Amino acid sequence: MTGPDARVVVSIADDRVGTTTVVADLRAAGLVVDAVLDVLGVVTGSVAPEAIDALRTVPGVTGVERQRGVGVPPPGNPIA
Amino acid sequence: MPEETKTTTGRYLVLLDDSSITAGAREMNRVAGINAASAVESVSPADLETADGVIFHDLGIAVVNAAPEQVTRLARAADEPGPITVVEPERIVHALAAPAAEEAAGPTAVDESVFTWGLQAIGATLSSATGAGVRLAVLDTGFTVDHPDFAGRTVLTNSFIKGETVDDAHGHGTHCIGTAAGPRKPASGGPGYGVAHESEVYAGKVLSNSGYGDDGGILNGIAWAVANGCAVVSMSLGAAVRPNTPYSQIFEQAAQRALAKNTLIIAAAGNESRRPAKVAPVGHPANCPSIMSVGAVDDQRGVAFFSCGTVDAVGQVDVTAPGVNVYSSWNGKTPDTRHKRIQGTSMATPHVAGLAALLAQQYNARGWELWARLMQSARRLGWSSADVGAGLVQAP
């Protein structure tokens, strides 16, 4: 049932940004924190896929999304 | 919202995995009984009417006549792993090549002996603004720190890619920084190619040397730019999306917060269109409403064939800028590899970012005011707003 950890981004409500409790609650819910970006109200990290729903129920969390891969074509590709 | 029949032809486009077009053709036959003929170059409308369909091998796209039940089977195949990746209704699009009559109104041959055509097209060469005092972040594959054209310039760097320095082993980032902020009189010769040539550059590496990154690294880079007071963030990166895919609520919220802190994010619309056959939707994260999305035009002000467009109610093109045959700095160490000509909405985006820095200096504008200035001053083109938004951005 347990797959590899999912990389996620978590957004925090305006009035909770910068408070330590949300990040602590996210950790308690299973999030391994990569970065706390207070200036954007975003926390990045990874979590077991089945714990994603638990992150959504943490007070002060407004959204949880799986990270997408982004990119540009390799050098020499006709369109960059 | 039901599809208006006017906007679609009744045919369907089937995007095939480009590693095996032949397998895709076999799969269409297996799941839906469609026998599509191969097209080498172009196909007449009569051919399209009579055959089951036609495969454009170079594009990896089949245009097929399919009954509703066949469409369902194709769509099911697209949802599963296999050589059929996307199925969508064929849209009616108009020809986008610039009409000859219009060319007579302006110079046809582009003289790049002094400045690139891109700088000229956006009026940067006629502007007294230089971007001086404005901080401009470019989040990409890094920067060629020792490039001779940037000697003496303020370029702050930071790598958000584990195990890689900011040094740009790819080249894409160096090209984008060159367009946004490179010199008007390059030390290594050739035409001037930078828009905001006196701006302070913040080069954030959020894509690896192979050109890949993820949301976390990008958000890291945005946060770094906001914390450093950058007025503009240029992001020539993205991920393709299917039509009607919701935009990221998290990037939208991040973009709104960045705007509230005086940082405008500008991102490439994407290169997945193959006009006129196919117009692809604006990709992630440019499809967020509070991120300015940039399409590409060529030196005749025609829409670039690859430029993504407004095809759903999610993402839209906000403005366009030069994105074809764009000359800028590259990561080579020899005289003939220090510059390169490439194309893409990636190249259009730093034109807009550099221009935003000029506007920021000229009017002391930031955030939403900067957004408004860019839209207000854009030159309207003769094309649909769905393809070019407010038009071709113009310098103050």
Please tell me the predicted confidence (pLDDT) of residue B98: 24
Q: What is the ipTM of this complex?
A: 0.85
Are A44 and B219 within 8 A, CB to CB?
yes
Give the percent of chain B with pLDDT over 70.
Answer: 86
The model's confidence at residue B96, banded by pLDDT at 50, 70 and 90, is very low
Which pair of structure tokens corresponds to residue B184? 């008007």
Cβ of A79 within 8 Å of Cβ of B249? The answer is: no
- CB contact (8 A) between residue B239 and residue A70: yes
Say what the pLDDT of residue B89 is.
60
Q: Do B216 and A72 touch (CB under 8 A)?
A: no
Which residues in chain A are closer than 8 Å to B325, comparing Cβ atoms? Answer: none
Chain B residues touching residue A11 (CB < 8 angstroms): 249-250, 253-254
- The CB-side HSE value for B303 (13 A sphere, CA atoms) comes to 33
Partner residue facing A63 (CB), from B140, B213, B249: B249
Q: Cβ atoms within 10 A of the Cβ of B103, count?
A: 12
Residue B203 has pLDDT above 70, yes or no: yes
Tell me the β-bridge partners of A69: B214
With a cut of 70, say whether residue B50 has pLDDT above it: no
pLDDT in tens, B142-165: 999 999 999 999 999 999 999 999
- Specify the pLDDT at position B394: 98
Are the beta carbons of A69 and B175 separated by less than 8 Å?
A: no
Mean pLDDT of B369-380: 97
Q: Return the DSSP state at B105.
A: T
Contact B345, B283 (CB under 8 A): no
- Mean pLDDT of the residues in chain B: 87
What does the pLDDT average to over B95-116?
A: 52
Q: What is the pLDDT of residues B19-33, one digit of tens each?
A: 677 888 888 888 888
Decide if pLDDT at B47 tops 60.
no
Q: How confident is the model at residue B57 (pLDDT cuts 50, 70, 90)?
A: low
Rounded CA gap, B125 and B303, in Å? 22
pLDDT per residue as tens digits for the range B220-279: 999 999 999 999 999 999 999 999 999 999 999 999 999 999 999 999 999 999 999 999
Sign for the pseudo-dihedral over CA of B110, B116, B122, B127: negative
Active site residues of B: 140, 172, 346
Among A7, A72, A79, the residue with its CB nearest the CB of B216 is A7
pLDDT at position B6? 44
Distance of CA A2 to the CA centre of its chain: 18
> In chain B, which residues have their Cβ closer than 8 Å to the Cβ of A47?
none
Indicate if the pLDDT at residue B396 is higher than 80.
yes
Structure tokens at B324: 């074809």
- Name the minimum distance, in Å, from the CA of A66 to any CA of chain B: 9
* Distance between B171 CA and the closest CA of chain A, angstroms: 7
* Residue reference for tokens 């083109």: B381
Residue of B nearest to A41 (CA): B254
B347 and A63 in contact by Cβ < 8 A? no
Q: Which of A54-68, B2-16, B123-137, B307-321 has the lowest mean pLDDT?
A: B2-16
**Sorting pLDDT into bands at 50, 70 and 90, what band is B67?**
confident
Given this model, what pLDDT does residue B33 score? Answer: 87
Q: Which residue of A has its CA nearest to B256?
A: A40
Residue B92 is predicted with a pLDDT of 33
**B178: part of which helix (H) or strand (E)?**
helix B172-181
Under CATH, which number does the domain B114-388 receive? 3.40.50.200
CATH number listed for the domain at residues B7-90 = 3.30.70
Q: What pLDDT score does B72 carry?
A: 81
**CA-based nearest distance B238→chain A, Å:** 5
B28 Cβ contact list (under 8 Å, min separation 6):
B14, B34, B36, B53, B62, B64, B74, B84
Q: Which of B213, B214, B253 sits opposite A41 (nearest CB)?
A: B253
Ordered by start, the domain boundaries in chain B are 7-90, 114-388
| Contact across the interface for B215 and A68, Cβ inside 8 Å | yes
pLDDT-based confidence at A80, cuts 50/70/90? confident
Distance CA A62, CA A64 (A): 7
Name which of B94-98, B121-125, B299-303 the model is least confident about.
B94-98
